[in-house]
Chains A and B, each alone.
Chain A
Amino acid sequence: MIKSKNLYFKYEDNFVLKNINLYIEEGSFTAIIGANGSGKTTLAKHFNALLLPAKGDVLVDGINTKHDELNARKKVGFVFQNFEDQLIHSIVEEDIAFGLENLGLEKNEIIGIANKTLDKLKIIHLTKNNVNMLSQGQKQLVALAGVLAMKPKCIVFDEPTTMLDVRNKNNILDIINNLNKKDDMTIILVTNVLDDVKYAENVIVLKNGTIIFNGEKSRLNSKILKGAGLSD
């Protein structure tokens, strides 16, 4: 589904990603973990073509993000860490419709898909609500609905539990897991909270912009976590 080959990325003169080679299989659940500043979000933004490699390539379903950003983005949705900034319109339904309009869908079709998505996430009662008046948990579900409605093959979640309480945190992790297990969606979860990785099958550990571990979660040990600055 997603392949990166000798990926390098730099902000000004500092390389924040160095020689990243990875392959994320279709339908898999992969967690990218690492301490603050390790390059997790920078790497994740490459999958949605929000950032393009300084050197090397990122291929999304065979599409090189350098050559076709738009079609790469259609395949991979992105739920931002600060979902507040992701909501563009004031009314929930309008916000869900935004991405669908951009895809050029028929007007009659858009409301149907928006309602279906809101229903799937059990927030259909919020359809006409103003996003500014929603709770953090509700805002995140609306942000997810906006992405989900566009039917991407893969969704990247950037630190989805950071701003949530325990109940909302468990709810969003269960939803993410269901998207993977029931809907066969490829999931990439970016986090520095080890509890969030509970449903992931594969884990990529980053440290200072390089991969120090890439494999099944069962092979992850305390030495690796300590090396990545994720445990004492």
Chain B
Amino acid sequence: MIKALAFGQYRFKNSLVHKLDSRVKLLFVVILSILIFLINDGKRSLFFSLFILVVVLLSKIEFKNILNNLKPFYLMLVFIFLMYLIFSRNKLAQGFIAIWRFLMLIIMSFVLTYTTTISSLIAAVESLAKPLKFFRVKPRNAALMISIAIRFVPVMFINLSRAREAMASRLADFRKFRHIKLMIFSLLGRMLKSASALSDALHSRLYNENAENHKILRLSRYDYLSLLVFIVFVFVIY
């Protein structure tokens, strides 16, 4: 689990989608995520699904990977379906649309993280958030927050495992609420200590919220071409 969290989902492939600028991909996912909630009929949802299928094929993602990625959500999808079946049988078609939307959102986010490195995504967030400067929001702060979260989620799991092992070695019983509470406090203590050290590290390494990300993002002909195709797709579907 830690390995998966630490590595993220990115896999290097020589595909058209991998070659696209991270800002363009992020923008596509945001627009598609909004667009999907405006689709209520079978014909347009089929067209949308075909578009996503083409993107998946272009990304050279194996279907096995997509199915594996969907595994944790199967129960939730069944639950949504059952809720519609029990409480709104007359709106079952809407239930299918809700499940379909959910599936599409997961697949789209998977394609994004499979074809884009975390650092490129952060650079994209930093770049796309630039207009927020007018509202005195510093894009570098937002990007740093994301980066630190990604960096420290595995560390949190390691700390949790250490706290659990330390308690288990002294015969803790995790069915007791008191022991779970102690483990959580121990984890919080460790994380606060790490946060304090991290704050020192940021100062020590001269953190400057006005500095720019070193990644050079440039739009290529693939990006312009994909933008054109995307605009046509949005126009047709809407």
Contacts and interface: CB of A to CB of B under 8 A. Distances in A.
Q: Do A and B bind each other?
A: yes
Interface stretch (A28-36, A127-135, A202-210): A127-135
A132 B214 contact: no
Question: By DSSP majority rule, is chain B's interface helix, strand, loop, or mixed?
Answer: helix
A97 interface: yes
A150 B205 contact: yes
Given A82-B197, A101-B214, A132-B2, A89 B151 contact: yes
Interface in A64-109: 69-70, 73-74, 77-78, 80, 82, 84-91, 94, 97-105, 107-108
B206 A150 contact: yes
Nearest to B7: A130
A88 B2 contact: no
Interface string A141-164: 000001100100000000000000
Interface string B36-49: 00000000000000
Interface in A187-207: none
A31 to B, nearest CB: 20
Interface residues of B, number: 33
A48 interface: yes
B208 interface: yes
B204 A85 contact: no
Contacts of A78: 204
Interface of B: 2-3, 6-8, 117-119, 144, 147-148, 150-151, 154-155, 194, 197-198, 200-208, 211-216
B208 A88 contact: no
A111 interface: yes
A102 B206 contact: yes
Given A50-B203, A88-B151, A90-B150, A104 B214 contact: no
